[in-house]
Chain A
Amino acid sequence: GQNIDQPTEMTATEGAIVQINCTYQTSGFNGLFWYQQHAGEAPTFLSYNVLDGLEEKGRFSSFLSRSKGYSYLLLKELQMKDSASYLCAVRDGDYKLSFGAGTTVTVRA
């Protein structure tokens, strides 16, 4: 099975940087994903890591350490529209995704 932990809530100021950590213990690993989900909507894909290191995509970056079972999502230059839930998900060898409970990020002016 999968055990995925991430903080419940985080608050930051517009223009700032926020780092959302995710730790996992899994029975199989075939990649780690970060999704953004606004209330009442489906998740949208943000980033994907399968090898150790940092992946950068514009204002969003994601890091993975497989030996530590650890990942983080870094959001830079926060905007009000970034207020959402951020889901860490681990994919196993059968391509099933298991999701963490999500981190609600609130961006304040």
Chain B
Amino acid sequence: GAVVSQHPSRVICKSGTSVKIECRSLDFQATTMFWYRQFPKQSLMLMATSNEGSKATYEQGVEKDKFLINHASLTLSTLTVTSAHPEDSSFYICSAREVGGSSPLHFGNGTRLTVT
């Protein structure tokens, strides 16, 4: 079945540093990738939609200069949390949609970010 690989699974960083999270579709081409954030005991909140070769579309309230998204190929999207602060600590999850597919989104295993 379709697999989405997300790396790293856990990261701890100091306040003010930047962290890059990778999301790869391993056996299919993903025309669109989505980035979600989930705080403890809350649901997934869509942050942005990433389309290969074009600028990401951010949801209302999400700072595009803080959460940089690059979708350089049909199998890779990256999310960079710039100048991270403790309030950015969260569970970040990517998902991918297959080219031409109407199938359910495939989710990565998530990245637990802790900013100290």
Contact = CB atoms under 8 A, between A and B. Distances in A.
Interface residues of B, number: 22
Given A41-B110, A42-B110, A99 B105 contact: no
Contacts of B24: none
Contacts of A73: none
B93 A42 contact: yes
Nearest to B112: A40
Interface in B62-82: none
Given A41-B109, A42-B109, A96 B46 contact: yes
Interface residues of A, number: 19
B46 A98 contact: yes
A101 interface: yes
A49 to B, nearest CB: 11
Judged by DSSP, the binding face of B is strand
Interface string A7-33: 000000000000000000000000101
Given A45-B104, A99-B44, A94 B49 contact: yes
A11 B67 CA distance: 38
A43 B6 CA distance: 13
Contacts of B46: 96-98
B96 to A, nearest CB: 11
Contacts of A95: 32, 97, 105
Contacts of B105: 45, 95, 97
Contact of B44 (A40, A43, A48, A94): A43
Interface of A: 31, 33, 40-45, 48, 87, 94-102
